[in-house]
Structure formats: C-alpha cells, structure tokens
Amino acid sequence: MKKRMILSTLPLISILLVVSWCSCQVQEIDTIDGDVEIATSTYSYTIVGTGQKTFYNNYSEISEPEQGDDFYGQDACYAQNAPDYVDNQDGTITDKVTGLMWQQDPGEKMTYDEAISLLSSIELAGYTDWRMPTIKELYSLIQFNGTDPSGYESSFTDGLQPFIDDNYFVFSYGREEDGDRLIDSQFATSTFDVGGSAFGGGNLMFGVNFADGRIKGYPTGAMPGRSAKTFYVLFVRGNTDYGINQLKDNKDGTISDEATGLMWMKNDNGVAVDWEDALTYAEGLVYADHSDWRLPTTKELQSIVDYSRAPDATQSAAIDEMFTCTSIVNEGGDDDFGYYWSSTTHYNFLNEASNAVYVSFGRGLGYFNGVWMDVHGAGCQRSDPKEGSADFYPFGHGPQGDAIRIKNYVRCVRSIE
C-alpha cells in the first residue's frame, strides 16, 4: 500500500470550532479572519439537506409539481439546510451546518486496521483530536445530486457526479488497475453492525459509498480467500454530539427529537406501499392535530436509526424502543422488520429515476451463495424500484442479491415549530 503524507504545519486560515452545548446551540468562531460568516443552530444534530433539486416521477425528470399534484412531497419539494462548507486552505473543510471539521483528502485506500493505526498519530492543520467518523457523521456529507454509475461500462468518469461535493473533498472512483470496480469508493466509519452477520467473514463496519450513494456493512478483516478490504478514510473533529438523538415521547402518538428539531410518527403506516402511494399518504396525513406531515428525506430517516439495535442482537428493529415497527416475515422466512421509504430519488446511469431510497430498520437482506442472509446490516440504506412487482426478483438483484420489495413502509416526519 502506498504511504500517504499528513502535513502537520499548513498555512493560512484555521477555523476553531468552539462548541457551547447550552440549549444545544452550536457556535462557530473564526479566530483569524473576521470576514468568515458565522453560522449558528439551535440544534446539536442539524440534518444537512440532500442537495436534490430535481423533480421526478416513477421514471424520469418532471417539472415541479404543485401541492395536490401527483408526486408532490418528494425530496425537492421542501426547503432543507443546504451544505455550507468552508475550505480552510490547510487540508481541512469546515461544515458550518453541522459544526464538524473534516480532513479534505482521504489519500490512498487502507485497511481498517491501518486506519486505526494512523489515527493514533495524525496531526493535521495543528489539531490532534481527529477521530474516525460515526456512520451518522459521515452520512452528513452525502449528496443525492449524484448519479449511481452501476451498469456504466466505460472507465471515463469525467461526466459522472459522485454523491459527495467534489468541489471541496478529494474523491476518486475505483480504479481498474487496482483491481477495483468503478463503484469501489467506500469510506470507513467507527460504527459496526451489532447483528452478527456472517457475510464476508463477519465483523461488518457500516461504510458510505460515495460512488453509488449507499450505506452497507463491509467486512473489516480478511475475507475468505481474499485479503482485507481497503477503504478511504476522512477523519473528523468537532461537535461530538453530532448524531446523538434526544428523543422525547409526546404522549400523543408522536416522538420529538430535540437534537434535530424533527417530530416523528411513533407508529408507521402499517401497510407496505409503493413510492408514489407513500408520498400521497404522507401529504394527506392529519395526525396528532398536525397536517404538515411529509415523507422524510433519506438523511432525515437515517437520523433515527439506532445502530446499537438489530433483529439478531436485540430482537428489535434498529430504532429506539419508543417507536413501533410493523413486523414482517422476510424472504428467508424469518421474523423481521421492513424497509422504509424516503422522499429521495436514487438516480442511476441506466435506469435514471426509476428507484427511490429506502432505509432498512430490519435485516439488509440479500440472496448470496444460495442463501438469504443479512448482507448489508440493519440500518443500511439502499434503493428499490418505485413501482412494479417483487415477483420479478425471486433471488434479489445485484452482486449480493439485494432483496427487492417495492412496497415498503412509511414513517412520516414534520419540523418542530
């Protein structure tokens, strides 16, 4: 593996993040250049928008729908917290929305053990308090204006758009000369699957793939017949409360998260539906004296995943026990919990807008080596066709045989007033 150099003395602007948690308020203070605009938030876990500004039907781009129209309520219909990055000109990027400071260039891929070893000695921009990001911290960087290149057969990538802002962060697709597929641009986190899946030798770490726009579990050790998988790593510092929920049961069928400023249905809709029906359900919902419910974006939905819970570890869905989830029997015949629709379209090079993003609160099931197993982990984020029949996918889809359901569940959200 190529060694990468971390410069400990770097010039120009440094931004010190001073975090005051009184009333959960994040403050960013520029210690050198007073021209940098200061951003504040009343929440310690502010959800960054997905960056999706295009409107879609079940297959392609459409003009902006009006309230009451088909496909109203999708991701781009609602205002979000746009990413607000500052390039500190010292190898770091500050995210003014989250209060997190990031390493700008992940360098070369490395094994998970190599990343942990590097973390013990890294000094960047004069700071030594860098850490491996959690899955929720890293997912704050994902942007769904990207295009999934799955099925793209050329090695020419200039026309492709990754799921991370490559105007600020250094990004590379997988290189054929390294034995990688084009989509092999997986980034590591400190969050592990507690479900105990045996997939790939087990010990699965939840990573974000900024090439194809997904979360899944990746083995961190040597896989059968193969060496240990390598990952890109972006170390992070600042706002140690980011990704930590502050849930409150309102005793009216709703749960408020005082860390994100979002209110959730305590129960789901109880019936699996396709994507358009999920949008329609959310837009028409009057519940707990509120009528401004909506289908959550994928980043909002992922914010309530509890990665310390999983069907095989806690016999529950991967969500706080305050919530209830409809039980299902999965494709392997086991008791499980379902996938949940987001309002976000997952745009693919070949299939365009025909898939939407879901988050799995049960097993991330796949048909692999002739067996249904939890190949991705509870809390993974994948995508399903927006309409059609699951009968066309008896053994799943893709290299791990992802279970294709098409009809998924709904948990609506609203912003706390």
pLDDT of residue 9 exceeding 60, the answer is: no
pLDDT for res 93: 98
- Among candidates 53, 51, 217, 205, which has minimal Cα distance to 141? 51
For 16-50, what is each residue's pLDDT tens digit? Answer: 333 333 333 444 433 323 333 535 568 999 999 99
Is the separation of the CB atoms in 62 and 71 below 8 Å?
yes
What percent of the chain shows pLDDT beyond 90? 81
What percent of the chain shows pLDDT beyond 70? 90
For 199-218, what is each residue's pLDDT tens digit? Answer: 888 889 999 999 999 999 99
pLDDT of residue 270 exceeding 90, the answer is: yes
Domain presence at residue 402: yes
Domain presence at residue 399: yes
pLDDT for res 39: 56
pLDDT for res 311: 97
Q: What does the block give as tokens for 167? A: 């105007």
pLDDT for res 30: 39
For 141-163, what is each residue's pLDDT tens digit? Answer: 999 999 999 988 887 888 899 99
pLDDT for res 18: 34
pLDDT of residue 261 exceeding 90, the answer is: yes
- Among candidates 307, 358, 376, 263, which has minimal Cα distance to 133? 307
pLDDT for res 177: 84
CA–CA separation, 417 and 414 (whole Å): 9
pLDDT for res 4: 34
pLDDT for res 145: 97
Domain assignment of residue 404, given as a range: 249-415
More reliable by pLDDT, 381 or 196: 381
Q: Which residue has the tokens 């959550």?
A: 296
For 353-395, what is each residue's pLDDT tens digit? Answer: 999 999 999 999 999 999 999 999 999 999 999 999 999 999 9
CB atoms < 10 A from the CB of 123, how many? 13
H helices present in 235-295, as ranges:
275-284
Q: How far is CA 394 from CA 276, 334, 346, 389, in A?
A: 23, 16, 22, 10
CA–CA separation, 217 and 379 (whole Å): 9
CA–CA separation, 93 and 15 (whole Å): 9
Cβ contacts of residue 20 below 8 Å, gap of 6+?
Answer: 26, 27
SS3 content of the chain, % helix, strand, coil (to 5): 10, 25, 60
In this structure, are strands 254-257 and 247-249 parallel, antiparallel, or unpaired? antiparallel
pLDDT for res 223: 67
For 294-336, what is each residue's pLDDT tens digit? Answer: 999 999 999 999 999 999 999 999 999 999 999 999 999 999 9
- The model carries a pTM of 0.91
Domain presence at residue 339: yes
pLDDT for res 11: 36
Q: How far is CA 369 from CA 153, 218, 373, in A?
A: 25, 17, 9
CA–CA separation, 297 and 344 (whole Å): 6
Domain presence at residue 257: yes
DSSP per position, 152-197: ---S--TT---SS-TTTS------GGGT--TT--EE--S-B-TT--
In this structure, are strands 365-368 and 371-374 parallel, antiparallel, or unpaired? antiparallel
CA–CA separation, 294 and 412 (whole Å): 6
Domain presence at residue 393: yes
Query: Which helix (H) or strand (E) covers residue 413, if one does?
Result: strand 413-415
pLDDT band at 1; cut points 50, 70, 90: very low
More reliable by pLDDT, 14 or 54: 54
* Number of domains present in the structure of the chain: 1
Domain presence at residue 79: no
Lowest average pLDDT, out of 71-85, 160-174, 211-225, 357-371, goes to 211-225
More reliable by pLDDT, 2 or 182: 182
Q: Strands, E, within 28-76: which ranges? A: 40-41, 55-56, 61-62
Domain presence at residue 38: no
Buried b (16+ CB within 10 A) or exposed e, 317-352: bbbbeebebbebebbeeeebbbbbbbbbbbbbbeee
Domain presence at residue 410: yes
Q: What does the block give as tokens for 190? A: 């400190």
**Helix, strand, or coil (residue 60):** coil
pLDDT of residue 14 exceeding 80, the answer is: no
pLDDT for res 160: 92
